[in-house]
Structure 1
């Protein structure tokens, strides 16, 4: 368990929300092409909105030994979507279909941790987690966000959950260009005199200094291809360019790292620097020694809205440590912390040929045979693949299904 001072964090968060009546407005600097440098990183955190919120949770859970806390605007519990688009849309955004309970997703997390697919969930105990959902947000419904709060609390995280705002579906900042209740591009809203960003950082860090009125740092634009497995960002629905805001102080002094993940329709290729400019993170970064990493997703045929992968459009390993987008973001984090990207070699090299795991073969059998062989399990007459919990149909000797093992005891439908 990590030791945190929850009381001081709570006081800091409330004080920032209630006490600040005017806001500094400092335009984000023009991007400077470059590479991610090495900094003295003392703690790593993750935040995000919507699909970026789901991805932030995935990163925090799968890499709980690396990330020390999370701030999430409008998202649900870990792997709510279960590698299924219909479930994602109708159970994990809207609630017209049933979804896995927090308890079921907690057990799924433990099972994956036992297989080494994610870090031990015991790491989450004591971690600060800040959650936000606005009453005008009809994109990801309130019960879904409630599940995320329950999931984290059940693992012992120190959760602050702000669900009293009248905000729409958006990142909420004191300098946001949209009105509080809006759900429209660029999905950065302003809600009166409140400062959710300061409240989030206050909870995550214990305390924060007031935001800067002018920025002293630089915005680095780097090539994301260098951090994606295989070296092709477009192949995993990520943009070529990513960004990192680096305060001047972080060039020589220890700093924290915040990874911030945009929502759907909020990627750089569509809205430009809107989140980086109006999200109010850089202003706090300058006065609190914090590097901010802004990775970028983009559109593909299966991802026309430029979302992060939280339902399996790009890979059925999307919520695991081996998920391509997850691996890319972690490679960026490690580059900032240690100076070297951790990208696997491209498929044209000899090393890749000798180390890449072959694509698993499909196993076709009756659902009864799958369960007796340990590939699946039965619940109330239905069959579910071990690990992914994907539904396979009736549990009997007549119903057949095809599944494959993508990691130890983690089976998915072919």
Structure 2
């Protein structure tokens, strides 16, 4: 990502940038209202793009006893962001700031596993992992993706890494509506005759049958509140509706389960059925006995782009088994496979009370995730109030009024 892209990313991450997005006219079956019911699930996998890719890795690592493999488009290693927005933007998307090395993140994983907050990383050994980073992708730097490959390989996963396709920042599909090198809504690109979805599924499953020419299963629209901690999906930046594509063969026989997580600016409430229709997963689902679960994030204060929580905008527990979004997605998986739902502790916050002001340099505020920089100026996170020049000499006093929302004192 070049400097101008960082400015745009900083603005977008705090709600200052708008996207030109269109609603897809989808050929995917019309959704049928229903609930997630038990199927004969023989194996569970996870895939995702960008924030959904980071989330896919978090799920695979934290719940390695549940997920048998992962397919990830354009993301970095486990907990790269370290609960800081600036680290996420400037170290884990771009590489202007130093980030934790794969070895350091591997040790962090082992430490958390010893405490029981994630599953033992030994479970990752032998798991199939398919990674993709387009050479025209300047949203997430290739070095960050390289770290993810190293992280997985060091834990013994069987990694296939495609980093030579001239693709932009997107999910790559043979029926994608966008040109290969673009990074625009709905972030589903077509790169000639290549079929990365087939390559991903082949690596994860061992072999796949050709995709169906037309889908014939059901698209179930379900209430995500049922699976969210406290019964409130909106409180953890998840939409009311989630979707599951169920082939006819899975109604009566064994099936695999693929959890697919969208990227920022790619949730259903913004782009409609575009990802569900064009990801080219349902076509393979019909011929390979695979249910596809499409959970949905949405916007909230501190998350105007509808990203999955991979830097801590909603909870400091975001990469752990008790992370609210992690819990919700795993509850969906367990509903489909007959497991027992997880009930984590009520979300708490360790941020200062609203009456407590924090005085620091504007540079320190941005490093701590209380503010962001744009064109040499500093702005309070959430409220976007101007704080002055971005440097170590100019100081500001700000206080937090709600999660990721700071105002001047």
TM-score normalized by the length of structure 1: 0.77
For residues 242 and 349 of structure 2, the distance between their equivalents in structure 1, rounded to whole angstroms, comes to 32
Counterpart in 2 of 1:118? 118
SS of equivalent to 1:67: coil
Look up the SS of the partner of 1:244 in the other structure.
Answer: strand
Deviation readout 1:169-197 (Å, 9 max, x if unpaired) = 00000000000000000000000000000
1:361 Cα deviation from its structure 2 partner: 8.2
Per-residue CA deviations over 1:309-329 (Å, capped at 9, x if unaligned) read: 000000000000000000000
RMSD: 1.7
Q: 1:57 to 1:234 in 2, by over 3 A?
A: same
CA distance in 1, matches of 2:175, 2:349: 49
CA contact (8 A) 1:28 1:215 kept: yes
Q: Give the conservation status (yes or no) of the 8 Å contact 1:334–1:342.
A: yes
Question: Could you say which residue in structure 1 is the equivalent of 2:67?
Answer: 67
CA displacement 1:312-369 (0-9 Å, x = unmatched):
000000000000000000000000001x77264xxxxxxxxxx95795989xxxxxxx
Residues 167 and 253 of structure 1: CA distance in aligned 2, closer, same or farther (over 3 Å): same
CA contact (8 A) 1:226 1:341 kept: no
CA contact (8 A) 1:135 1:168 kept: yes
Per-residue CA deviation, residues 178-236 of structure 1 (Å, 9 max, x unaligned), is 00000000000000000000000000000000000121100000000000000000000
Give the gaps of 5 or more residues in structure 2: 1-25, 352-409
* In structure 1, distance between residues paired with 2:141 and 2:93: 6
Q: Is the 8 A contact 1:72 1:130 kept in 2?
A: yes
Can you list the C-alpha shifts for 1:26-46, whole angstroms capped at 9, x where unaligned? 921000000011100000000
**CA distance 1:298–1:359, shift in 2 (3 Å):** closer
Residues 97-128 of structure 1: CA deviation (Å, up to 9, x unaligned):
00000000000000000000000000000000
Alignment of 1:58 onto 2:48 = no
Aligned residue number for residue 108 of structure 1: 108
Gaps of 5+ in 1: 1-25, 345-354, 363-414
Aligned partner of 1:20 in structure 2 is none
SS of match in other structure, 1:256: strand
Contact 2:69-2:128 at 8 Å conserved across structures = yes
Kindly report which structure 2 residues correspond to 1:223-234, keeping only aligned pairs within 5 A, or say none: 223-234=223-234
Q: In the alignment, is the contact (CA less than 8 A) between 1:228 and 1:343 conserved in 2?
A: no
Name the CA shift for 1:33/1:157 in 2 (closer, same or farther; >3 Å): same
Structure 2 CA distance, aligned partners of 1:359 and 1:274? 35
Report SS of the residue matched to 1:316.
Answer: coil
SS of the residue aligned with 2:178?
Answer: coil
Measured after TM superposition, the shift of residue 75 of structure 1 is 0.0
- Kept in 2, the 8 Å contact 1:227–1:343? The answer is no
1:274 offset after TM fit, Å?
A: 0.5
The aligned counterpart of 1:352 is: none
Residue of structure 2 equivalent to 1:401:
none
Aligned counterparts of 1:85 and 1:114: Cα–Cα separation in 2: 27
TM alignment of 1:369-380, pairs within 5 A: none
Contact 2:315–2:347 at 8 Å: present in 1 too? no
Cα pair 2:62 2:117 within 8 Å, conserved: yes
The 8 Å contact of residues 230 and 343 in structure 1, kept in 2 or not, is answered as no
1:389 — aligned with what?
A: none
Corresponding residue number in structure 1 for 2:341: 342
Correspondences of 1:7-406 after superposition (within 5 Å): 27-338=27-338, 342=341, 344=343, 356=345
Deviation by residue 1:127-186 (Cα, 9 ceiling, x = unmatched) = 000000000000000000000000000000000000010000000000000000000000
Is the Cα contact below 8 Å between 1:224 and 1:242 reproduced in 2?
yes
- Contact 2:137–2:168 (Cα < 8 Å) also in 1: yes
Native 8 Å contact 1:243 1:295 kept in 2:
yes
**Contact 1:244 1:293 (8 Å CA) reproduced:** yes
Checking the alignment, whether the CA contact within 8 Å between 1:134 and 1:166 is kept in structure 2 is yes
Cα contact 2:172–2:189 (8 A) shared by 1 = yes
What is the CA-CA distance between 1:301 and the residue it aligns to? Answer: 1.3
Task: Classify 1:245/1:164 alpha carbon distance in 2 versus 1 (closer, same or farther; 3 Å).
Answer: same
Between the aligned partners of 1:148 and 1:65, the Cα distance in structure 2 is 20
Q: CA 1:361 to 1:264, structure 2 compared with 1: closer, same or farther past 3 Å?
A: closer
Aligned residue for 2:111, secondary structure, equals helix
The total of aligned residue pairs comes to 327
Question: Does the aligned pair in 2 maintain the 1:216–1:247 contact within 8 Å?
Answer: yes
Where 2:229 maps in the other structure, the secondary structure is coil
- In structure 2, C-alpha distance between the alignment counterparts of 1:276 and 1:311, rounded to whole Å: 25
